Amino acid sequence: MIFDRAIYRENCLKRPFLKLSIIIFICSRAAVYGQSPDVDYNTLYRYPVSIGAEYLGLNPANDFGFDASLTEISGALRIPFPSLPQLQPVVTLGIIRFDSLDRTQPDKWDHTHYMGMLGTAWINRLSKTFELGGEFSFGLTQAVFPNVDPAGVTRGALNIIGRLGGRLSLDPSYNMSIDVHPSITYMRYIGGASNFDLFNGFSLGVGISGHYRFGEDPDAPQAIIRSLKFETSQLPTVFAAMQRYYVDHPIGSVKITNTEKFSLLDVDVSFFQKGFMDNPTKSAQIKELRPGETIEVPLYASFNDAVFSKNGVTPLTGEVSVEYLWRNRPVTQVSSVSYNLQDKTALTWDDDRKVGAFITYEDSALRNYASAIKKYVKADEISGVSPPLQTAIEIYYGLTELGIIYQIDPTSPFTEAQDNPLIVDSISLPRDTLTRLTGDCDDLTVVYVSLLESLGIETAFITVPGHIYAAFNTGVASKDFRKLNIDKNMTLSVEGSLWIPVEITLIGVDTFLKAWRTGISEFAALDDQPEKRSIIKTKDAQAVFSPVGLKETDLGLQYGSKTVIVKNFKRDIGKIVDNVLDGYAASAEKSRRKRDYNRLGVMSAVFGRSDRAEEAFNTALSLDRNYLSPKINLGNLYYMDEDYESALKNFLGVERKISELGKKGSSLYAKVLLNIARTYYELENYDRVTLYYDQVKELAPDLLKTFSYLNTESNGNRGADAGGLGDALFVEDEE
């Protein structure tokens, strides 16, 4: 076989480039496969120092006049920068063996380079197991030629050496790395024996190296990161009734301390209770926790309805989970916390608003019961009396007929529990009280208020030392207190409306009126110490403490005798009406003013006492025969008695009188016209209805809002909005 030097040199040049192309392709595929944008692998897997050994085959690119091969064996020390681990200063020491392939003088040009280089590498870790980068090194070699001198004298030559290369690293473990190292090396003779510049030039090569990296594998079990110190082991007691409260009010707190000498970033704290939560509840997000910094984090909890399934006290152990970046490495650290879960009936009296959590007015069983009682008495209600007041009386006697009675809690009386917020008290849910038929003051207050709320009545609860009782909004303006009771002090004025307190513990023992008077007395007893009493609206309490969740089932209640409930209702509502009318009558008799008698007549008519109304209106007219208001109101009485001819006669007489007085533009005139239109409607004289309707529409269109049925042109049938006993009928004073 004939050796061709030119072909040999060509192959020497081609093979390294072919290898380099393959390596670059592999690197690019590895980068695409291994890279994750969420992890900084350089920081996560950085190491303090590494040592390695490399074997490098070099192919000279220049023509020596003979063929040769070069091999290099070297050791390297790398020290990555701590803050930028990709940048790695490199120290390389090694030997390069030059082997001449000259057939005539095979040993003459053999020599060895003793090499030392300093350099810098930039190595980027693309994934846990792949790195890609490059490096540049520069240094000196001392070449030793043992055979070049015929006299047998060893010759030496000093050379500069520079190298530019790439590196692909496979990391089977944190401490071990295997590198493929394609490179271009340049050497140049700078001093020593003559004729050695023959070896100046470039060489191409691919090396294989292995490196050992010092440090601890962050993925090793013994290297699990514990950068946070937790300070909590026991949380305060948690109450099932406060389930929704804990979503934005903490159940407790935990202190966390950064024990590292560097900052921890993006610290997220959450709390989780297995079996009672569907997902962890985020408690805090901290952008940076500085070295040695301690922060107290409130713990929030989104409990599911499973908390309502437990009875008594249930010991629990939850998890506080903290996620953070440790030198850009995602880390999760968990700490256990223990606490007790109280069942859905328990609470402490550190905040009276907690009662709101037990007012379950959306319970269908309560709605059904309240609606049934309401239907019992509906036909006997009086249109002129406050509807909430009548409903409150109906529910009071409905509960009385059901058999509910007051019974003090022997285990934790309210008088003791309220004075000590550390005592765990118990409040029964309304459905349980309705089933058991007994309750403490807090139990009865809750069930009564819940039933009223289920019917759309605004309620509150009043707390005084050692006691709690109910209150409700009558819907009557504070200035109109006489419509409820002649004694202004028998009601509470709250934000412009009159409220009535009810001492609900008297249920089954005494009347509603007695419960009303007792509630007022208890409230007034602290007039000189108002700080010791409070009236808390249910809606305000539930804005903080939402009602507990419950499984709704039919309670199978026996609602009691309708006859008894109606009888008790009519007795109390009659006394209330008598009290109001007696007050108006006393004022009229004292003043002997026509207007006071007219007001007495209006209130009597509104309350359904027609005889007393007619007497009062006639008395007013006896004082002034030209007083128009009682004339109109007498017409209203005839209208109510369906004596439409007499009513019309009165209304038309007033119309003529107002016209004579030149007051056809007054609001009083408009009301008279409206009454005439309504009367003609009942007499089915629709042409006259239209005539008077149009006049009212021109003078006072707002009066027609509740009487649109009079517009016979658009609706010839009586509408559902036919008016009642409002201001458009009765007139208290002339205008």
- 255 bridge partner residues: 231, 296
- List pLDDT tens digits, range 101-159: 877 788 888 889 999 999 999 999 988 888 999 999 999 999 898 888 888 888 888 99
Q: Please name which of 371, 368, 314 lies closest in space to residue 341, comparing C-alpha atoms.
A: 314
Sheet holding 534-537, edge to edge: 492-494, 497-502, 467-477, 459-464, 534-537
Residue 415 has a pLDDT of 55
Least confident of 226-235, 375-384, 479-488: 226-235
* Percent of the residues in the chain that have a pLDDT greater than 90, as a whole number: 60
Q: Quick one: pLDDT band at residue 734, thresholds 50, 70, 90?
A: low
CATH number of 5-213: 2.40.160.20
* Percent of the residues in the chain that have a pLDDT greater than 70, as a whole number: 89
Residue 419 has a pLDDT of 57
Q: Quick one: pLDDT band at residue 665, thresholds 50, 70, 90?
A: confident
Residue 707 has a pLDDT of 84
Q: Cα dihedral sign for 17, 19, 20, 25? A: positive
Q: What is the mean pLDDT of residues 232-237?
A: 81
- List pLDDT tens digits, range 382-426: 988 999 999 999 999 999 999 999 987 655 555 555 555 567 788
Report how far residue 297's alpha carbon sits from residue 268's, in angstroms, rounded to the nearest whole number: 10
Neighbours of 76 (CB within 10 A): 24
Report how far residue 549's alpha carbon sits from residue 431's, in angstroms, rounded to the nearest whole number: 12
Residue 710 has a pLDDT of 84
Residue 37 has a pLDDT of 59
pTM: predicted TM-score of the whole model, two decimal places: 0.67
What backbone torsions phi and psi does residue 374 show, to the nearest 5 degrees? -60, -40
For β-strands 438-439 and 405-406, DSSP reports them as parallel
Residue 347 has a pLDDT of 86
Most confident stretch, 62-71, 291-300, 694-703: 291-300
Does 540 have pLDDT greater than 60? yes
Q: In the numeric block, which tokens belong to residue 307?
A: 């908390």
Does 723 have pLDDT greater than 50? no
Residue 29 has a pLDDT of 55
Please name the amino acid found at residue 217: D
Does 469 have pLDDT greater than 90? yes
Q: Are the CB atoms for 301 and 310 separated by under 8 Å? A: no
Residue 221 has a pLDDT of 56
Q: Are the CB atoms for 77 and 48 separated by under 8 Å? A: no
Q: What is the mean pLDDT of residues 502-530?
A: 95
Q: Please name which of 523, 530, 463, 515 lies closest in space to residue 489, comparing C-alpha atoms.
A: 523
Q: Quick one: pLDDT band at residue 223, thresholds 50, 70, 90?
A: low
Does 591 have pLDDT greater than 90? yes
Q: Please name which of 16, 54, 24 lies closest in space to residue 166, comparing C-alpha atoms.
A: 24
**3-state SS string over 159-218?**
EEEEEEEEEEEECCCCCEEEEEEEEEEEEEEEEECCCHHHHCEEEEEEEEEEEEECCCCC
Contacts of 56 (CB under 8 A, 6+ apart): 71, 72, 73, 74, 181, 183, 205, 206, 207, 208
Residue 425 has a pLDDT of 82
Q: Quick one: pLDDT band at residue 199, thresholds 50, 70, 90?
A: confident
Check whether domain 225-344 has CATH 1.10.3470, yes or no = no
Residue 381 has a pLDDT of 92
Neighbours of 437 (CB within 10 A): 14
Tell me the C-alpha to C-alpha distance, in Å, between residue 283 and each of 272, 288, 318, 323, 389: 10, 16, 14, 12, 46
Spell out the CATH class of 626-710: mainly alpha
Residue 92 has a pLDDT of 96
Exposed / middle / buried, residue 663 (Cβ in 10 Å: 0-12, 13-18, 19+):
middle
Q: Quick one: pLDDT band at residue 728, thresholds 50, 70, 90?
A: very low
Q: Please name which of 186, 187, 137 lies closest in space to residue 159, comparing C-alpha atoms.
A: 187
Does 369 have pLDDT greater than 70? yes
Q: Please name which of 84, 93, 176 lies closest in space to residue 137, comparing C-alpha atoms.
A: 93
Q: Cα dihedral sign for 590, 594, 600, 603? A: negative
Fold agreement between 225-344 and 626-710: no
Domain boundaries, given as residue ranges, for the chain: 5-213, 225-344, 349-560, 626-710
In the predicted model, what is the mean pLDDT of the chain? 86
Residue 3 has a pLDDT of 41
Q: What is the mean pLDDT of residues 507-532?
A: 94
Residue 353 has a pLDDT of 92
Q: What is the mean pLDDT of residues 319-342?
A: 90
Higher pLDDT, 19 or 49: 49
Report how far residue 289's alpha carbon sits from residue 264's, in angstroms, rounded to the nearest whole number: 5
Strands, DSSP E only, in 276-374? Answer: 281-289, 294-299, 313-326, 329-342, 346-347
Q: Please name which of 512, 507, 471, 468 lies closest in space to residue 492, comparing C-alpha atoms.
A: 471
Q: Are the CB atoms for 545 and 357 separated by under 8 Å? A: yes
Check whether domain 349-560 has CATH 1.10.3470, yes or no = no
Does 508 have pLDDT greater than 80? yes
Does 720 have pLDDT greater than 50? no
Residue 96 has a pLDDT of 93
Residue 714 has a pLDDT of 60
Exposed / middle / buried, residue 221 (Cβ in 10 Å: 0-12, 13-18, 19+):
exposed
Q: Please name which of 384, 381, 379 lies closest in space to residue 604, comparing C-alpha atoms.
A: 384
Q: What is the mean pLDDT of residues 183-187?
A: 93
